[in-house]
Amino acid sequence: MTVEDQVRELCRRWAAAEQLEDVAALNDLTVPDFTLVGPAGFVLDKGAWLDRYRNGALRTTSIVWEDHVTVRDYGAAAIAIGRYVQEAEYQGNKADGRFRSTHVAVERDGRWLLAGLHLSTSVGP
């Protein structure tokens, strides 16, 4: 499997774990110092990111990729960019949206893991 294929698979597994609210899988897919930058500019470290599922604040019911995910391979790091539609609730409020997503992946001990995720609201094609 190519690096591009492995990173796309990592993105697929991330989306599946988010939909299942699978904290253990999300923890396993990320490096210890993982950071999320949300679509409104907020920044969450790994613990705060996972806590949204642990405490039930975030409920993700669907993540569907719209675009082909493009991957740039930099050896032990890769950048994946795609767009997806999310159906979710945060603290009981709708958190649906279309997001452009940049995944930063790093290879550690032969496995690709997420080091960072940056989301922005996506409008238009």
User: Would you state the structure tokens that stand for residue 67, as one six-digit string?
Assistant: 């675009």
pLDDT of 16 > 60? The answer is yes
Model pLDDT for residues 22-41, shown as the tens digit of each residue:
999 999 999 999 999 998 89
pLDDT of residue 57: 85
Average pLDDT value over all residues in the chain: 93
- Token pair 């190519």: residue: 2
pLDDT score at 102: 96
For 53-73, what is the mean pLDDT? Answer: 89
The pLDDT value given to residue 64: 87
Q: Cα–Cα distance between 21 and 16 in angstroms, integer? A: 8
The fraction of the chain above a pLDDT of 90, given in percent, is 77
